[in-house]
Structure 1
Amino acid sequence: MIRTPRGIHAALLALGLAGTAFITAPAFAAGTLTVSSPQDPGSWDPIDTFLVNWASVATNIYDGLTYRGPDLKLVPGLATAWEELDAGKRIRFTLREGVKFHDGEPFNAEAVKFTFDRLLGDEGKKGPQRSNYAAIDKVEIIDAKTVDFFLKAPDPVLLTKLAGYGAMIVPPKYIQEKGDDYFNAHPVGTGPFKVTSYEPKIAIKMEAFADHWGGAPKLSNLEYRFIAEPATAVAELQAGRVDLVIPPTIPVGMIPTIQADPKLEVMSTAGPTVYALRFNTKSGPTADERVRKALILGIDRNAIIQSILGGQAAPIASFQGALSFGNDPDMKPLPYDPEQAKALLKQAGIAAGTTLQIDVRGNDSTFNEVSQAIASYLQIIGINATIKPYEVNVLLNDIIPAGKTGAMFEQAWGGWTLDYDNTAYSMYHTGEKWNPYDSDPKLDEMLESQRSLTDRAKREEILKSIARYTADRALEIPLYNYNAIFGVSKRVKNFTPVPDSRLRLTDVTVE
């Protein structure tokens, strides 16, 4: 039986600020934890990525001003306190003193200003993170341990955003001396583990940072191996060469293999990751809303969830899961109705046998199986769907942003802020990196209007309206909200899977 951590549902309801101090760990003991991750993010610069697998590694390398713990509560990180001023348009942060980067450079107000000047400047334009922090106008240094964030408008999600991705604090002197490209492959942060080596597409290795402000980790070494093939990752777990396999590596079909090994266990937790097939709404058959709705109606998502995903997922009506603020539980997915799908295709003048391409991530074995099932369903309604796999970084950073996809393309999204804005703005706002096809002024206005609202109820209603509007326009085929599944050696102690997959491994030990 898959073991789910107790109390997770209560923890999910506990989002908000917590005034508790960061718990420190004792000095590290001998021990190396080896983790299998399904992909090398290809960049360790916080402003150059959005991948969950980047975050699961980098949360051990970097710190933010705030930190979201395993219980999803927001606690102090590199900032020990903060206060809102000027009706929420200025936030003053008091910084933690005595903190060092891994190279010995001191953390201070200068590092905070440098990080956000860089994120909001020309360097930040190259990556996908900048729009998450668009509310920030500037950062001003008050003194060595105090900074003010001046906002263009209040941002109700900013404190959460400061706990991840683009807001991770980086070392000014190191980057200025070494350059961005060097930093990208030789990351330095203030986190509990210090990078010792990185071989692209092979592994990244770290050692415990004894001077971490929260106390040294219990492990002495941490290694992430990049193993794309699930069977290989599970074989390495069985052989004891890997201690932990993280999502989305393990297909449901391999769960019994792990459970049958007395040395191993499977752990699962609800998570925010959602999957969809998004459409080219600009050209070709899928520019027609009737065709898009026909394709949605032609797929039996519930059958896919049960037969391929083993029930480890829930159907979604919009591109967000149940943990997302803005999710509307009253929204229902379009039902499986192949006859109505055929009728819509006929109305749109789509001939039987029309070929449509689906672009997928080649390393995602589970979704590749799902996409084959989708192709079979589409065959029933007269669509010949072809599957084109890409290396994940090529698809996400080259093909999609350039608008070179087929009629449909796989999009998986972690929604790490647990707020629909993080997903919706990136996917639907005109000009965003992962929205190469669609431009809708009404939708843009809705997206922009909720970003500065501090009235939680009003903002939630706008987010729900966005979800309903995008569903009415059929901008994607919303598929499912997938659980996070981990394969774990029983040698590993004190490991708890977290909903957002950002695994800070400071308390883990290996026997």
Structure 2
Amino acid sequence: MRTTKIRAALLGLSVAGLALGTAPALAAGKLTVSSPQDPGSWDPVDTFLVNWAAVATNVFDGLTYRGPDLKLVPGLAESWEVLDEGKRIRFKLREGVTFHNGEPFNAAAVKFTFERLLGEQGSKGPQRSNYTAIDTVEIIDDHTVDMKLKSPDPVLLTKLAGYGAMIVPPKYIAEQGEDHFNTNPVGTGPFKFVSYAPKVDIKLAANPDYWGGAPKLSELEYRFIAEPSTAVAELQAGRVDIVLPPTIPVGMVEIIRGDANLELVSVPGPTVTALRFNTRDGVTKDAKVRKALIMAVDRTTIVQQILAGQASEIASFQSALSFGDDPALKPLPYDPEAAKKLLADAGVSEGTRVQIDVRGNDQTMNEVAQVIASYLQMVGITASIQPYETNVLLNDIIPQGKTGAMFQQSWGGWTFDYDNTAYSMYHSGEKWNPYESDPALDKLLESQRSLTDRTERERILREIAVSVADRALEMPLYNSNAIYGVNKRVKGFVPAPDNRTKFDTVSVD
């Protein structure tokens, strides 16, 4: 039996500098944050959206926590042991923690959370497939649980720090119902839900009894502002204190830099953007055509000129920080003459039309799409750009397989592990894979999930990336920096690369 034990004491942790039970400090001040998207539901099992996590990180906690430094530390579990060669994890839970409604956090809440995630309710959302390695959660005592796995999952502890694994209150959901919970979330986090106006804002208040110490702020409001120019104008006017990624287009970077009251904060993040192909319909059914379209576009110039260096090129759908990224894998070169030849060989006539679907509120991507259309025109392809409201594109057009020839996919890759992206994008039957079904690729994706040998697992992940590139399932574009606009009255702000900033230690003048 191999045992790995991690304890907060050994890590020298002091969450927010306070021990559990320390009298909370008096909170003061309101922070207003602009977010480009209302996720529509605050239930952790309903979403994959980074803009959900930007808010929900302040409402919910997981058993583990990963902050802006990307290090994994204890969350609601103060320690854990990995047992039985990775097939069982024993979590020792924090004592004295309560949900915002006064309901106790305990082993029963953990068991309920994961049975719900892996059951009928979780099956309605996109998160369950990330946690299918979990077989059962067994209560040892009120503050100890065993998570038994069907097979080892080397990324599970990181997954437990976010999204579907956020711990939810059993009694509250049973009494109030699922629909109520969607719009009136209750967690154990540093801020408590106050009100929610769909597509307008969500208002939170400080949780003075937070187990990590009371927040320095008294109020936290997220306003949903999809239009970048409006968000930046509100920031300049002082009605918004922070504008979250990916709101700020590169064209507005100098506006923020030129304002004496504002600060531009840009950090490398996990978010990657690609144009994925409809491999079922039209000319893009042919891999030769897909490769031609990739070779027709000068991605280097796009990064340097259109994105002003606030991004980096990618060869696969992951950032350089991702486990599984292969620096030896190079993207198809920009070669318009070779692209023309491939199109001719595939029998594609000049003037053939293709449609590019994009998120309508993503100003940067809309500019990039216009440039891509110009490049395609140079090889005889006429591209039209179809903008969609983000939730429509993500919840209807893509999952239902109703896209044009190419469609924008921007993905957070928040685990910094290629599995989290690749399984969702390429495995048969997944929400984000409406067109492909490849048994060989499915087998590769499944095989690496149970491996604890990092070297072998990395080899398979790189093989997956090569397979995707060989079949040209997408046009890899760029890895974006996370760009924040911040009013200088905000103190103690540490930008999170994955946009999951916890605001409990932030204050305002």
- 1:19 and 2:11 are equivalent in the alignment: yes
The Cα offsets for residues 83-136 of structure 1, whole Å up to 9 and x where unpaired, read as 112111111111111100001111011100110000000111111100100100
Answer whether contact 1:22 1:76 (CA < 8 A) is retained.
Answer: no
Distance 1:357 1:176 in 2: 46
Distance 1:208 1:157 in 2: 32
Structure 2 residue aligned with 1:400: 398
What amino acid is the match of 1:222? Answer: L
Answer whether contact 1:356 1:386 (CA < 8 A) is retained.
Answer: yes
Distance 2:421 2:501 in 1: 21
Please state whether the residue corresponding to 1:468 is helix, strand or coil.
Answer: helix
Structure 2 residue aligned with 1:39: 37
Please state whether the residue corresponding to 1:103 is helix, strand or coil.
Answer: coil
Structure 1 residue aligned with 2:413: 415
Distance 2:28 2:211 in 1: 20
- Percent identity between the aligned chains? 72
How far residue 21 of structure 1 moved from its aligned partner, in angstroms, is 2.5
Of 286, 298, 314, 1:316 maps to 314
How far residue 475 of structure 1 moved from its aligned partner, in angstroms, is 0.5
Structure 1 residue aligned with 2:251: 253
Structure 2 residue aligned with 1:10: none
How far residue 27 of structure 1 moved from its aligned partner, in angstroms, is 1.7
How far residue 19 of structure 1 moved from its aligned partner, in angstroms, is 2.7
- 1:431 and 2:429 are equivalent in the alignment: yes
Distance 2:81 2:349 in 1: 61
Relative to structure 1, the CA distance from residue 128 to residue 28 in structure 2 (aligned partners, 3 Å threshold; closer, same or farther) is farther
Trace 1:174-213 onto structure 2 (pairs within 5 A): 174-213=172-211
Structure 2 residue aligned with 1:88: 86
Distance 1:121 1:491 in 2: 45
Of 297, 300, 304, 2:298 maps to 300
Answer whether contact 1:362 1:390 (CA < 8 A) is retained.
Answer: yes
Let me know the Cα RMSD of the aligned residues. 1.2
Please state whether the residue corresponding to 1:378 is helix, strand or coil.
Answer: helix
How far residue 28 of structure 1 moved from its aligned partner, in angstroms, is 4.0
Distance 1:260 1:278 in 2: 36
The Cα offsets for residues 12-65 of structure 1, whole Å up to 9 and x where unpaired, read as xxxx99833242356243100000011111111101111111111100000000
What amino acid is the match of 2:314? Answer: I
Distance 1:70 1:315 in 2: 23
Distance 1:267 1:499 in 2: 11
Relative to structure 1, the CA distance from residue 408 to residue 96 in structure 2 (aligned partners, 3 Å threshold; closer, same or farther) is same
Please state whether the residue corresponding to 1:324 is helix, strand or coil.
Answer: coil
Please state whether the residue corresponding to 1:274 is helix, strand or coil.
Answer: strand
Distance 1:70 1:416 in 2: 11
How far residue 442 of structure 1 moved from its aligned partner, in angstroms, is 0.8
Answer whether contact 1:269 1:497 (CA < 8 A) is retained.
Answer: yes
- 1:160 and 2:158 are equivalent in the alignment: yes
Please state whether the residue corresponding to 2:300 is helix, strand or coil.
Answer: helix
TM-score of the two chains, using structure 1 as the length reference: 0.96
Answer whether contact 1:89 1:151 (CA < 8 A) is retained.
Answer: yes
Trace 1:359-398 onto structure 2 (pairs within 5 A): 359-398=357-396
Answer whether contact 1:155 1:451 (CA < 8 A) is retained.
Answer: yes
Structure 1 residue aligned with 2:440: 442
Please state whether the residue corresponding to 2:265 is helix, strand or coil.
Answer: strand
The Cα offsets for residues 279-337 of structure 1, whole Å up to 9 and x where unpaired, read as 11112111100000000001011111122110111110000011100000111111111
What amino acid is the match of 1:116? Answer: F
Answer whether contact 2:106 2:142 (CA < 8 A) is retained.
Answer: yes
What amino acid is the match of 1:502? Answer: R
Structure 2 residue aligned with 1:219: 217
What amino acid is the match of 2:127? Answer: Q
Structure 2 residue aligned with 1:123: 121
Distance 2:465 2:437 in 1: 16
Answer whether contact 2:358 2:407 (CA < 8 A) is retained.
Answer: yes
Distance 1:210 1:179 in 2: 26
Please state whether the residue corresponding to 2:269 is helix, strand or coil.
Answer: coil
Distance 1:289 1:27 in 2: 61
What amino acid is the match of 2:126? Answer: P
- 1:105 and 2:97 are equivalent in the alignment: no
- 1:268 and 2:266 are equivalent in the alignment: yes
Answer whether contact 2:16 2:505 (CA < 8 A) is retained.
Answer: no
Distance 1:347 1:73 in 2: 50
Structure 2 residue aligned with 1:53: 51
Distance 1:28 1:335 in 2: 58
The Cα offsets for residues 356-414 of structure 1, whole Å up to 9 and x where unpaired, read as 11111111111011111111111111111111111111111111111111111000001
Answer whether contact 2:200 2:224 (CA < 8 A) is retained.
Answer: yes
Runs of 4+ residues over 6 Å off in structure 1:
none
Distance 2:437 2:98 in 1: 45
How far residue 71 of structure 1 moved from its aligned partner, in angstroms, is 1.1
TM-score of the two chains, using structure 2 as the length reference: 0.96
Distance 2:147 2:72 in 1: 18
Distance 1:356 1:28 in 2: 58
Answer whether contact 1:19 1:76 (CA < 8 A) is retained.
Answer: no
Distance 1:220 1:442 in 2: 53
Relative to structure 1, the CA distance from residue 22 to residue 292 in structure 2 (aligned partners, 3 Å threshold; closer, same or farther) is farther
What amino acid is the match of 2:467? Answer: Y
* 5+ residue gaps, structure 2: 1-6, 18-23
Please state whether the residue corresponding to 1:205 is helix, strand or coil.
Answer: strand
Structure 2 residue aligned with 1:490: 488
Answer whether contact 1:22 1:75 (CA < 8 A) is retained.
Answer: no
What amino acid is the match of 2:135? Answer: D
Answer whether contact 1:450 1:463 (CA < 8 A) is retained.
Answer: yes
The Cα offsets for residues 340-363 of structure 1, whole Å up to 9 and x where unpaired, read as 111111111111111111111111
What amino acid is the match of 1:38? Answer: P
What amino acid is the match of 1:317? Answer: A
Answer whether contact 1:63 1:191 (CA < 8 A) is retained.
Answer: yes
Structure 1 residue aligned with 2:28: 30
Structure 2 residue aligned with 1:8: none
Distance 1:404 1:179 in 2: 33
Distance 1:253 1:503 in 2: 24
Answer whether contact 2:27 2:214 (CA < 8 A) is retained.
Answer: no
Answer whether contact 1:116 1:139 (CA < 8 A) is retained.
Answer: yes
Distance 1:381 1:439 in 2: 30
